[in-house]
A and B are shown apart, each in its own frame.
Chain A
Amino acid sequence: MTTQTVVWTLLPDPAAAPATAGMTRLILLASPRLTHDDVVPLSRYPALVDWPNMPLQIAVEITGSSGTITVPAELIGDPPDASVWRAVFPPELPVVPFVFDRTPAETRILSYPAEPLRASLAAEYSRLFRPTDVPLPVDDDPSTRSEAEWAAVDRLIRVVGDGARERSISDTQVGLDAAPDDLAEDPAGWSRLADFHRPRRSRDPRMTPGLSSREGPAERDFHAVLAALADHPQLQARLGLVRELRVQLPPGLAGPVTIRAVPTHGAGLSDYRPRIRCVAGAGQLRLATADGTEASLYLPLDDISRYAAIDVDIDSAGLALQSYVSALALAPRDRLAPRPQPPALRSDGIFVAEADRQISFKAALRRAADVLDADLAAGGDGSTIVLDADDVQQGYRVDVLDVDSGRWYPLCRRIGSYRVAGIDQPLPIDDEGTVCDVLAASEEDGAPAYLLHQSLFRWNGWSLVVPPPGLMLDLDDQTADPVPEPDRDLPFTMTVTVAPGTLPSLRFGRRYRFRARLVNIAGRSLPFTPDPADPTPATPALRHSRYEPVPSPVLVPRRPVTEGESATVLVVRTDNSDPADPRPGPSCERHLLAPKAAVLTLERHGVLDVPGENRLDPDVYALLFEHDQGVVAGSPDASANDTPFIDADTVALPWLPDPLAHGIAIHGLPGSPDLNLDWPRGDAWHQRLPIRLIVQPGGGAGPAPPVVDTTGREARVTLEPGATVTMTLSSRLREGDEETLGTWRWFASQDDQAATEVTARRDDALAGRIGHLTPPYEVRMIHAVRCPHKPPVLSVPRIDRLPGDPAYTLVDPAISIHPDSTVSVHVEAEWSDVVDDPTLPERLRLRSRYWWIDGASRTGVSGSAGGSGMRKMVSNLPKFTSVDKRSSVPSLRRTKRPDPAKLAPLHNEVLYVIQRAVTELDTDAVQRRRAKIDRHAVSVRGPIRALPPAGGLARAAHSHSVSHSETRQAPSASQQTGPDLHKRPSG
C-alpha cells in the first residue's frame, strides 16, 4: 500500500521583520513521508512528482482561550520552481519507504560533564603550580617531606584516576537512558571522560565508510535527499518544501494560543497537522515553550548554571593527565615521591558546553519517538499533538561579541552558489548555515550506545560553516584542494565561502562572548545584528588564554661532540697531570635558539595582524612562506648519530619564534644563581637572535659570574677545575605575559589564593621558574681534570682505640680537600701499638693501610638522603661513591662496612675506621717509629708523582683520584687513566 503522508508544521517566522499590526508572517514546512511495500521510483507517488505545481491553499487554525477560528493565509515569496524540483527529485528517484528510526530514542547516550571536569583540572593544576627548583630547607626532615609529597601524589591519583580500572560508573548507569552530570561516585567526571574516549569498535568492525540514510541498499533516495536539504533553506523554499505565509490575525488576539495549518491541495496526500504552541500579542505570534510562555529565540547561554564557555582542550588535557597518573601509580613506593610534572596542556579554540546535555537530548528523542511519531503511526492527524519551541529547533547560528571592539560578528554566514542538475544558472547563496547535533554510534558492555559530547559548538578561529581555504591533506596525506570537483550526477551541489570582512579573529588575551540564535526546522532564525546594545542572552566574557607552555630554547652544538659530551652535557677539560703546568682545553659551545611556534599559534598571538586592526595581514604570506619550513641546518656530527652542529660564531633563527619566548632564564650557574637574558632583537617582532653559550675551563681562581658580551649574543661561563654544574634552562616571559597563559590564570583566580602567594609565584613565573608556563630542561657542564686541583691536607689526625676495642679509628677534625675535583682520599697509615703478650720478644708493630673517605659524609648530604638520584642535589658539594669495593686486600679484612649515615653528623671530621688489622712483628726500628707516632706526626702525600715528605713512624699516605666520579672526570665510555693508588710512595 502506498501512503503519501505530509507533516505540515506551521511556525512563526523569527526572521521576518515586524509587519503592520495584526499582519503576521508564518513559515510552513512540509515534511513528506512516503511508504510502500517496496522500493519504488518516485513516479509511483503521484502527489510528489510535481510538487511545486500542486494547487496549494493554506488557512491557519488558531485556538485560544476563546475557541478556535480559521483565518486565510496568503502564500508569499517566489513561487516554487518545478524545474528545480524535477532536477532534484526526478520521477525515477528511488524511494525507500520511510521508517521512523527508534534506535536513538531507545539507546543509551554516554557523555561526560565538561565544566566540572574543567574546574577539577584547573584546581589540580593550580595545586601543582609551583617553581620547579624550590630549594628545600636544609633542616627539612626528609621523612615528613616525603610523606607529604606522596600524599599529594595519592591525592591526584584518587581525584583523577587512571581511567583504566574504573568501570564502576558505567555499572551504576545500566538501565539509564543517560546518566546525569551529578554523580556522587564520579563528581568531576574523570571516570566518564575515560569511558567516553575508551577505544571502541563501531558496531560493524569492518566498518565500510559511506553515507547512507539507513541500513539499506539505497545510498540516495527520496528521503535521504530530503534530509540533506535541511541545511539548504533557500533550496527548500525554491522546491516548495518551505513556504512563507502572511496572516491577518483577529483583532484582540492575545495570550497562549496554538496554530495549525489547514492545507487544501486536492492531491491524494494524507495530511498530518500538529498544533504549534504560540503566544499572541501586539498583533504578532511568537513561539512558546511547553509552559506557554514566549520562547526565547536564543539559547539561554547567560544561564551559567547550564552553559559554560571553555577554552582549554579538556579531552586532550584529561587523557594526558590520566596517562600521567598511570605513570605515577607505578612509581616505586620505597623511594622519594617524583617531582610533580603534569603534562603540557593545549588550546583548541573555545567551545560552549551544556550541562546535562545528554539528559535534555535524550528527552527530546524520547518525545519524538513516543509522543510525536507514536501519534502519527497510530493514524492520528496531529490534532492532539502540541509542538513547542523545543520540538521544532534543529540547531544554532553562533555569533561572537568581541568585547573590546564592542560588536557582534557572525560565525555562520556564507555566500556562494548552488548548482542544480539540469539548471544552467547557478543559484546564488547568501545565508547562514546551521550548527547541528551529532551522535556517534558505539557500544557499552556489548550493548549499543551513543556518544554525545557536551560541546554545542566550537570556534577555532574560522567560520563554523565553511571549509578553510588553503590546501588540505587528502586521504593519501598529500596536499590537495579542499573543494573537490563537484559530481555532476548529484542533484545539486553547493559552493560557499565566508562573506568577506565578516569573521571575528580569535586572539589570546581578548575577551569574547557567545550567543546562539536558535534555528527552527524550516531553517529560520533571528537575523544577525552586530549591535551590542540589543541585549541578548550570551555567555559571560571569556578572556581567551593560551594553555600551551612556552617551549624551552633549542640547543645546537657548535662543534662535534667530544668524548662523554652530548647535547645537554657540555664538557671542557684541563690536563693538570703536571700540577705546575695545567693545560686548559678548548671551550664547549652551544647555540641557543628561540623555540619555534606553529602558524596558528602566531596567528592567535596577533603577530601576523594588520597593525591596529586585529585581523590577519595578507602581506605576512612571504614571511610565513619563507620561515615556516625553516629547520636547523648544520653539518652532521658523526659522533652524535648525525645530528647537526653549526660551527659559526652566530647563526640565524631559521623559523618564526614563539611570540612569548622573550629570552632565556638559566638557573644554577656558578657565581650567579640566575641569569636572565632577552633575545637580542632586530626591528621586526620575529627577529630574535640566537645566543651562544660558551663554557670555558677556569684556572681555579674561584667561582666567577657568567659574562655576557655587549651585543648580548654571547654568554660566557667559566667553570672551576673539577666543577660539575647542573643548570636549568627555560624560556623567559615578559611581565604581563603570564596573564595570557591559562594555567597562570587558573592559579591566580583560585578562590582561596593568598595575594602574597600570587605575588611570589608571579616573580617565579617571570623568572622562568614555573614549569607549567616555561618548562625547563637540565644542562650539565663539566670541567674535567686529570688530577685533583689541590691535594688534600690533613690537619691533626690521630689514631684512637678504646681499651678492648678491636677497631682503630683515625680521626682528623678538619681535613681540607678540593671537593670539586676530589672523589676520595686514600690514606695509608702506620702506627705501633703495644701487644700485651709477655711471650713476645718485642712490642708488636701494627701496620696497615686504609683508603676511604666518603666525601658525602663530610658535607652531611649523602646521596641516599637526598633522594635516589631523582632529585637534584641542593649542594654543589660532591657526592662520592661511599665504599671502595676492593676489600680483598689480604692485609686488611673489613668485617663490617661503616654506615655512612652515622658519619654524617661529623661534618668537619673525617673518620677512618679500621675494623681489624692484621698484625706482624717488627724486629727493627720499633723504638724509632714509636717515638714518631707519639708526636702524631702524620704526613700527607700530595700529588701522586710528588715525593712524600721524609718518612715517619706513623705515616698517612693520602692519594687521591679523579677517576671515581662522573662529575669530576671527563665522562667517558672507556676507562680514564687515573693514578695508580697502589704505587708505593717512593719514599
Chain B
Amino acid sequence: MKTGLHAGTLRTTLDTTLDLRSITSVDLGGGEPTSHVHGELRSFSLEFASQALIVRFARLAFVSRPGTSPTLDLRITDVEFGGDLRFLNALRRYLPSPPNGARVTARDGCIEAGYTLAIPTLSTGVFLLQNLALSASVTLPLDGRPVRARFAVSARDDPFLVTVSLFGGGGFVALEVESDQVVGFEAQLEFGAATALNLGVASASVAVTAGVYIRLIDGKAELRGFFRAVGELDVLGLVNVSVELYLWLGFRDGPAGPEAHGGATLTIRVRVLFFAESVTLTIERSFGTGSDPTFDKAFPTPEPWRQRCAAFAPMVAP
C-alpha cells in the first residue's frame, strides 16, 4: 500500500495492510448461492483537524455473511489529542477499545460500534474530575453517507464534576468527526479555586472562577475563556485592593504538559488618578501540574476551618 496521508485523514505506514475479499458461491446442485464480503484494514490511523485528534486503529473490519447482518469490528489502540485539545490526553487510557470489543448495533441503515465507560475520577493536574461518563462510537452507514465517529465525555447539560478544594465546577467534551473532517466539537471546563496569582516578585491570593470553552469555528478548534478573580488582592502585604478582575485565559505548553494559562495587565483605582497614581499590576497564573486538593488537603487541621466558621454571624430572625 502507498504510505502517507490520504485524503487529509487516513495515515498509512509500512505496517498497514488492506484485505478485501468478496466470495459468491453457487451450489450447482440447486442449493442456495451465498455471498461473503470481508474487508479489513489493519494498522492505520485517522488524523483530524491538523492532528488535533489522532485515532490509531489495530483493525477495522467489515464482514457481510449470508443469514446475518453485516458487522463492523473496530479495534482502537490509541487516541491522541493535539493542539488545543491536548488537555484531553488525560483520557487516553480510557479510549482504546475494551477487550470485549465495542457494542455493535445495526439500525436506521447504519452499523454502529461503540461503548460507554463510567469513570469515577480522573486527575488532570490540579483538577479532580469526578463521575465522568465516557462514550465512543463509530457509525458506518450502509447507504453512502459518510462514516461518523463520535466521542463524548459527560454532556453539555449534565457535566462531570470538577473540584478544587471547596470549589465545584463542571465540564464535558463532545467530538464528532465525519469521514475526513471534524463536524462537531465542543469542550468545556469550568472550575473555581482559592489560589495564588503570580505578580512577579509577589504573589497574591484570591478566589478565582474560570471557564474554558472550545468549539469549532470554520473547521478549526477555537478557545474562549474567562478567568475571574474576586476578593482581596494582597500584593506583598503592601497593596491591598478588593476588586473583581478578569484575566484572559488559554492553554499553553507547561513544563509538565498542557496547562490553562491566564493573565492580565491591570490598572487599579484609575478613577482617582488625579489624587494618586494608579497601581498597575501584571498578573499571570497557570493551572496544570500539581495535585488536586480535596477538603482534607485544603484544611489539614481544624483550626482554619474554625476560623472560617467563626467569621460568620448567626442569621436569626429577631
Stretch at the interface among B1-9, B13-21, B40-48, B69-77: B69-77
With both beta carbons as reference points, the residue of chain B lying nearest to A433 in the complex is identified as B242
Task: Indicate if A94 sits at the interface (CB-CB under 8 A).
Answer: no
Chain A 637-650, CB within 8 Å of chain B: the 1/0 string?
01111111000000
Task: Indicate if B50 sits at the interface (CB-CB under 8 A).
Answer: no
Which of B32, B120, B190 has a CB less than 8 Å from the CB of A643?
Answer: B120
Chain B 195-237, CB within 8 Å of chain A: the 1/0 string?
1101111110111010101111110001111101011101111
Q: How far is the CA of A200 from the CA of B305 in the complex (A)?
A: 38
With both beta carbons as reference points, the residue of chain A lying nearest to B139 in the complex is identified as A869
Q: How far is the CA of A600 from the CA of B274 in the complex (A)?
A: 41
Please tell me if the beta carbons of A629 and B166 are within 8 angstroms of each other in the complex.
no
Which of A9, A368, A965 has a CB less than 8 Å from the CB of B273?
Answer: A368
Q: Which residues of chain B come closer than 8 Å to A484, judged between CB atoms?
A: 203, 237
Expressed in whole angstroms, the minimum distance between the Cβ of A875 and any Cβ of chain B is 13
Known: A621-B305, A965-B69, A972-B104. 12 other contacts (CB 8 A): A7-B274, A194-B224, A470-B165, A477-B287, A480-B196, A552-B158, A564-B101, A613-B316, A631-B121, A879-B107, A885-B70, A973-B74
With both beta carbons as reference points, the residue of chain B lying nearest to A593 in the complex is identified as B131
Q: Which residues of chain A come closer than 8 Å to B73, judged between CB atoms?
A: 973-974
Task: Indicate if B245 sits at the interface (CB-CB under 8 A).
Answer: yes
Task: Indicate if A303 sits at the interface (CB-CB under 8 A).
Answer: no
Please tell me if the beta carbons of A564 and B244 are within 8 angstroms of each other in the complex.
no
Please tell me if the beta carbons of A640 and B290 are within 8 angstroms of each other in the complex.
no
List which B242-282 residues lie within 8 A (CB) of chain A. Answer: 242-250, 263-282
Please tell me if the beta carbons of B243 and A436 are within 8 angstroms of each other in the complex.
yes
Q: Which residues of chain A come closer than 8 Å to B94, judged between CB atoms?
A: 641, 643
Q: Which residues of chain B come closer than 8 Å to A771, judged between CB atoms?
A: 157-158
Please tell me if the beta carbons of A406 and B32 are within 8 angstroms of each other in the complex.
no
Q: How far is the CA of A654 from the CA of B94 in the complex (A)?
A: 23
Please tell me if the beta carbons of B230 and A460 are within 8 angstroms of each other in the complex.
yes
With both beta carbons as reference points, the residue of chain A lying nearest to B35 in the complex is identified as A888
List which A538-574 residues lie within 8 A (CB) of chain B. Answer: 548-549, 551-552, 554-557, 561-569
With both beta carbons as reference points, the residue of chain A lying nearest to B73 in the complex is identified as A973
Task: Indicate if B144 sits at the interface (CB-CB under 8 A).
Answer: no
Q: How far is the CA of A840 from the CA of B204 in the complex (A)?
A: 103
With both beta carbons as reference points, the residue of chain A lying nearest to B65 in the complex is identified as A975
With both beta carbons as reference points, the residue of chain A lying nearest to B64 in the complex is identified as A885
Query: Could you list 29 A-B pairs, sorted by A, with CB under 8 Å?
Result: A29-B275, A211-B280, A214-B280, A223-B276, A319-B225, A327-B184, A344-B158, A346-B190, A348-B228, A433-B240, A440-B264, A460-B230, A460-B231, A462-B207, A470-B304, A472-B194, A473-B126, A501-B311, A501-B313, A504-B312, A562-B100, A598-B166, A639-B100, A644-B120, A889-B32, A964-B69, A965-B107, A971-B105, A980-B66
Q: How far is the CA of A372 from the CA of B223 in the complex (A)?
A: 43
Most chain B beta-carbon contacts within 10 A, residue among A162, A232, A313, A966: A966
Expressed in whole angstroms, the minimum distance between the Cβ of B190 and any Cβ of chain A is 6
Task: Indicate if A333 sits at the interface (CB-CB under 8 A).
Answer: no
Please tell me if the beta carbons of A394 and B230 are within 8 angstroms of each other in the complex.
no
Q: How far is the CA of A194 from the CA of B297 in the complex (A)?
A: 37
Task: Indicate if A269 sits at the interface (CB-CB under 8 A).
Answer: no
With both beta carbons as reference points, the residue of chain A lying nearest to B263 in the complex is identified as A207
Please tell me if the beta carbons of B272 and A618 are within 8 angstroms of each other in the complex.
no
Q: How far is the CA of A563 from the CA of B174 in the complex (A)?
A: 25
Please tell me if the beta carbons of B298 and A323 are within 8 angstroms of each other in the complex.
no
Which of B31, B117, B245 has a CB less than 8 Å from the CB of A438?
Answer: B245
Q: With A494-B240, A549-B158, A973-B113 known to touch, is A556 a contact of B273 (CB < 8 Å)?
A: no
Please tell me if the beta carbons of B200 and A457 are within 8 angstroms of each other in the complex.
no
Task: Indicate if B183 sits at the interface (CB-CB under 8 A).
Answer: yes
Q: With A104-B270, A198-B224, A227-B269 known to touch, is A598 a contact of B33 (CB < 8 Å)?
A: no
Stretch at the interface among A485-493, A706-714, A810-818: A485-493
Q: Which residues of chain B come closer than 8 Å to A207, judged between CB atoms?
A: 263, 265, 282, 284
Please tell me if the beta carbons of B157 and A475 are within 8 angstroms of each other in the complex.
no
Task: Indicate if B155 sits at the interface (CB-CB under 8 A).
Answer: yes
Which of A455, A498, A556 has a CB less than 8 Å from the CB of B311?
Answer: A498
With both beta carbons as reference points, the residue of chain A lying nearest to B211 in the complex is identified as A316
Q: How far is the CA of A565 from the CA of B125 in the complex (A)?
A: 31
Please tell me if the beta carbons of B201 and A210 are within 8 angstroms of each other in the complex.
yes
Task: Indicate if A405 sits at the interface (CB-CB under 8 A).
Answer: yes
Task: Indicate if A326 sits at the interface (CB-CB under 8 A).
Answer: yes
Task: Indicate if A458 sits at the interface (CB-CB under 8 A).
Answer: yes
Please tell me if the beta carbons of B26 and A964 are within 8 angstroms of each other in the complex.
no
Please tell me if the beta carbons of B310 and A631 are within 8 angstroms of each other in the complex.
no
Task: Indicate if A373 sits at the interface (CB-CB under 8 A).
Answer: yes
Q: Which residues of chain A come closer than 8 Å to B157, judged between CB atoms?
A: 341-344, 549, 771-772, 775
Chain A 765-786, CB within 8 Å of chain B: the 1/0 string?
0000001100111000000000
Q: Which residues of chain B come closer than 8 Å to A562, judged between CB atoms?
A: 100
Expressed in whole angstroms, the minimum distance between the Cβ of A2 and any Cβ of chain B is 18
Please tell me if the beta carbons of A641 and B98 are within 8 angstroms of each other in the complex.
yes
Please tell me if the beta carbons of A232 and B167 are within 8 angstroms of each other in the complex.
no
List which A57-104 residues lie within 8 A (CB) of chain B. Answer: 98, 100-101, 104
Task: Indicate if A652 sits at the interface (CB-CB under 8 A).
Answer: no
Q: With A439-B270, A563-B100 known to touch, is A478 a contact of B216 (CB < 8 Å)?
A: no
Please tell me if the beta carbons of A230 and B272 are within 8 angstroms of each other in the complex.
yes
Q: Which residues of chain B come closer than 8 Å to A552, judged between CB atoms?
A: 158
Please tell me if the beta carbons of B194 and A482 are within 8 angstroms of each other in the complex.
yes
Please tell me if the beta carbons of A319 and B226 are within 8 angstroms of each other in the complex.
yes
Q: Which residues of chain B come closer than 8 Å to A407, judged between CB atoms?
A: 318
Which of A202, A568, A601, A776 has a CB less than 8 Å from the CB of B263?
Answer: A202
Expressed in whole angstroms, the minimum distance between the Cβ of B273 and any Cβ of chain A is 5
With both beta carbons as reference points, the residue of chain A lying nearest to B284 in the complex is identified as A209
Please tell me if the beta carbons of B265 and A629 are within 8 angstroms of each other in the complex.
no
Please tell me if the beta carbons of A629 and B296 are within 8 angstroms of each other in the complex.
yes
Task: Indicate if A146 sits at the interface (CB-CB under 8 A).
Answer: no
Task: Indicate if A740 sits at the interface (CB-CB under 8 A).
Answer: no
Task: Indicate if B86 sits at the interface (CB-CB under 8 A).
Answer: no
Q: How far is the CA of A557 from the CA of B194 in the complex (A)?
A: 35
Q: How far is the CA of A967 from the CA of B198 in the complex (A)?
A: 56
Task: Indicate if A55 sits at the interface (CB-CB under 8 A).
Answer: no
Expressed in whole angstroms, the minimum distance between the Cβ of A52 and any Cβ of chain B is 19
Chain A 449-469, CB within 8 Å of chain B: the 1/0 string?
011010101101011111111
Q: With A469-B307, A470-B305 known to touch, is A227 a contact of B277 (CB < 8 Å)?
A: yes
Q: With A227-B276, A458-B230, A615-B315 known to touch, is A975 a contact of B165 (CB < 8 Å)?
A: no
With both beta carbons as reference points, the residue of chain A lying nearest to B131 in the complex is identified as A554
Please tell me if the beta carbons of A98 and B277 are within 8 angstroms of each other in the complex.
yes
Q: With A501-B310, A881-B109 known to touch, is A597 a contact of B168 (CB < 8 Å)?
A: yes
Chain B 288-318, CB within 8 Å of chain A: the 1/0 string?
1111011111111010111111111111111
Most chain A beta-carbon contacts within 10 A, residue among B31, B228, B273, B285: B273
Expressed in whole angstroms, the minimum distance between the Cβ of A182 and any Cβ of chain B is 23
Expressed in whole angstroms, the minimum distance between the Cβ of B221 and any Cβ of chain A is 11
Expressed in whole angstroms, the minimum distance between the Cβ of A440 and any Cβ of chain B is 5
List which B45-103 residues lie within 8 A (CB) of chain A. Answer: 63-71, 73-74, 93-96, 98-103
Please tell me if the beta carbons of B71 and A600 are within 8 angstroms of each other in the complex.
no
Which of A208, A453, A477 has a CB less than 8 Å from the CB of B282?
Answer: A208
Please tell me if the beta carbons of A228 and B215 are within 8 angstroms of each other in the complex.
no
Please tell me if the beta carbons of A967 and B107 are within 8 angstroms of each other in the complex.
yes
Which of A460, A497, A596 has a CB less than 8 Å from the CB of B131?
Answer: A596
Q: With A341-B156, A982-B66 known to touch, is A436 a contact of B241 (CB < 8 Å)?
A: yes
Task: Indicate if B186 sits at the interface (CB-CB under 8 A).
Answer: yes
Q: With A202-B282, A440-B265 known to touch, is A405 a contact of B120 (CB < 8 Å)?
A: no
With both beta carbons as reference points, the residue of chain B lying nearest to A315 in the complex is identified as B226
Q: Which residues of chain A come closer than 8 Å to B313, judged between CB atoms?
A: 409, 501-505, 615
Task: Indicate if B12 sits at the interface (CB-CB under 8 A).
Answer: no
Q: Which residues of chain B come closer than 8 Å to A495, judged between CB atoms?
A: 237
Please tell me if the beta carbons of A641 and B117 are within 8 angstroms of each other in the complex.
yes
Q: How far is the CA of A984 from the CA of B32 in the complex (A)?
A: 8
Q: Which residues of chain B come closer than 8 Å to A395, judged between CB atoms?
A: 242, 269
Expressed in whole angstroms, the minimum distance between the Cβ of A567 and any Cβ of chain B is 4
List which A306-329 residues lie within 8 A (CB) of chain B. Answer: 313, 315-316, 319-320, 322-324, 326-327
